[in-house]
Structure 1
Amino acid sequence: VACAYCRLGNSKEAYFYLHLAIDEGYRNYKYIQTDPDLDNLRKDKNWKAWFEKEKNKKPI
């Protein structure tokens, strides 16, 4: 879902659904960093800080 919103240019929703996926256990960080569907998010000025915070979360 995050990829679809990102491709549509809706970063707010893309961040939300990517955050939700990580909270639910998705941990393929290497793919998140290379998935072309998420290119627009990675270009966002907030990406680096957001991604580091998400990556360093402890699993629930």
Structure 2
Amino acid sequence: METKQKKTCPHCGRGKLANRARRPALMKATLFWLPIKRYSCNVCNKKSYVFGSVWEDEKKNSD
């Protein structure tokens, strides 16, 4: 069975990338066509860029 879970923070490794953060105006104006989003960690509050979706599949064994 597959479940969807938010990605872990690349800085601290403990938190999840939960909240969307604002992107700089220059990035919005020039790279609007790329699926890059900025998220903040719910533990360390550092900002990270994510290409694509923040959701990742986690496979669980039902054995």
Higher strand share: 2
Decide: shared fold, TM above 0.5.
no
Highest CA radius of gyration, 1 or 2?
2
**TM-score normalized by structure 2?**
0.25
Structure (1 or 2) with the greater helix fraction: 1
| Larger relative contact order (CA 8 Å, sep ≥ 6) | 2
